[in-house]
Amino acid sequence: MFKSKEKDTVPGGTRYKALIPTIVGLGAILYLYGDDLMGIRDIEVSQRSVWALAAAIGLVVIRDLAYMARVKILSMGQFDWRSSLRVVLLWEFASAITPSVIGGSPIAIYIMKREGMTLGRSVATVLATSLMDELFYVFVVPIFVFAIGTEIFIPGGLSDTAQMSIQSIFWTGYSIHCILTLLILFVLFIRPKKTREIFLTLFRMRLLRRWKLWAESLTDEWMSASDSLKGATTTMWVKTMGVTFVSWTSRFLILNAVLYIFFDSVQNLEVFARQLSLWIAMLVSPTPGASGIAEFSLPIFMQGVAVVGGVSVLVWRTLTYFIYLIIGSILLPRWLVKINTKSS
């Protein structure tokens, strides 16, 4: 069940599976913003728009470089830059083809393991990465609350009922982020031994007893990885948190840059803050990579801040979503050939 000697193949034609969220996303854009897209020929290309597009592309590169740096740091020297790049791109691809409520973390564990990590260390590394992501969100939201106020997260121009619903979803989502942060801290740093005991207790049950030795091996690796992370220097954690902030800030600023393609001025803080609430809506989406949901929700969440049309939605989703579907569908088969060749 947990270990197989068979070679990996592209499961179920992953390239074709990548077409599903692409079709959903592009279909949603065409259906919702067909009239806007017809006016794409009327858009004037100016020096500002060219620089704004270049900035948006640059932010994509910065985001992924920071993401690579984080994976490399948390691997404790086990991954070089090339391995870190593969992990990041395949992780993004996995997130793009799986429902947002599930995410790409389980597949990321597998990717890291096949790149040479033990399973326990892979789990610990993915959890440490998730912890950094959660901390970014937990820290940034209060900064906006204290600097501007809670109303910055809620779109204007909606009915009172709709605004109350979005507000409830946002703060519920924020609370869940806080709980997840505490949970990861508990299992990875505060009480890893207790986590190990609970895990092994489950595998003493009759139904799972046959995999008891596997569970013991996994938890031994887990404890070793946990000890390494707990023993890491303050400098390492500062670097990790720093590149996390760079990565997430770049991700959200991509939309700001995209809007500058079409407008002379943008309410930058408001656009950034609205994405924090939009992110909650995208996370609970049952569709792969929030396809369809993201395209529909963006103009709603930007009401009162920016006029978002079909072309800007298309550019934004291309730079933050479709690009990873394209790269991943090309990279995955080659990566599987590489790891199969290495293992044989």
| The pLDDT of residue 12 | 44
| The pLDDT of residue 102 | 73
Residue whose structure tokens are 């993401």: 67
Let me know if residue 218 belongs to a domain.
no
| The pLDDT of residue 37 | 57
SS3 288: strand
| The pLDDT of residue 11 | 47
Let me know if residue 195 belongs to a domain.
no
| The pLDDT of residue 210 | 79
Let me know if residue 144 belongs to a domain.
yes
| The pLDDT of residue 319 | 94
Let me know if residue 20 belongs to a domain.
yes
Please list the pLDDT of the chain residue by residue as tens digits (344 residues).
344 444 454 444 555 555 666 676 666 666 555 655 555 666 677 888 899 999 999 999 999 999 999 999 999 888 999 999 999 999 998 888 888 777 788 888 889 988 988 888 888 898 899 999 999 999 999 999 998 888 888 887 778 888 888 889 899 999 999 998 998 888 888 888 887 788 778 778 777 777 777 777 777 777 787 788 888 888 999 999 999 999 999 999 999 999 999 888 889 999 999 999 999 888 888 888 888 888 888 888 888 888 777 788 888 988 998 889 888 888 888 888 887 776 65
Residue 12: count other Cβ atoms within 10 Å of its Cβ. 8
C-alpha–C-alpha distance, residues 90 and 113, integer Å = 13
Any long-range contacts for 231-240 (C-beta under 8 Å, 24+ apart)?
232/76, 236/73, 239/69, 239/73, 240/70, 240/73, 240/74, 240/128, 240/132
Let me know if residue 292 belongs to a domain.
yes
| The pLDDT of residue 39 | 56
C-alpha–C-alpha distance, residues 315 and 40, integer Å = 12
Q: How many domains does the chain have?
A: 1
Let me know if residue 95 belongs to a domain.
yes
| The pLDDT of residue 10 | 45
Residues with Cβ within 8 Å of residue 292, at least 6 apart in sequence? 24, 25, 27, 28, 285
| The pLDDT of residue 3 | 43
| The pLDDT of residue 5 | 46
| The pLDDT of residue 248 | 97
| The pLDDT of residue 16 | 56
Q: CB–CB of 244/131 below 8 Å?
A: no
Domain that holds residue 71: 14-190+232-343
Which stretches within the chain are classed as H helix?
A: 14-17, 19-38, 47-74, 81-97, 105-114, 119-147, 160-185, 192-202, 212-230, 234-262, 268-283, 293-301, 310-317, 323-343
Let me know if residue 159 belongs to a domain.
yes
Let me know if residue 3 belongs to a domain.
no
Convert the pLDDT of each residue in 36-71 to its tens digit: 555 566 667 788 889 999 999 999 999 999 999 999
